[in-house]
Amino acid sequence: MKGHIGAVYIDPAALIRAAEKQGIQNPKKLADETGVSYETCYLIWKKGRILNPKLEVVTRFCHVLLVKPAALLAYSKEVEYGQTLLAEE
């Protein structure tokens, strides 16, 4: 890939807000409700942002949390293409 294009990521603050509105208080419950792996839910909830998430993951979150993808996704041009995790600062 030529050039620095940035990355799309699931914003952990947005995910947690949406989850809490649905009564989901932790990554284990999020995993149980969505069918997304606990590891993925934990990484987003506790460790930071998963970059360039699979559309299936976004779709599962949206279905359970009753939100549109735009409510969960963000973009950063400061991230190098191919990076998979960006820790919260």
pLDDT tens digits, 14-43: 999 999 999 999 999 999 999 999 999 999
Task: Sketch out the chain's domains with CATH numbers.
Answer: 7-87 (1.10.260.40)
Give the helix/strand (H/E) hosting 86. strand 85-87
pTM for the whole thing?
A: 0.84
Q: Per-residue confidence at 83, pLDDT binned at 50, 70, 90?
A: low
Cα 54 to Cα 3, 8, 12, 33, 65, distances in angstroms:
22, 10, 15, 18, 17
Q: What is the mean pLDDT of residues 34-63?
A: 92
What does pLDDT average to over the chain? 87
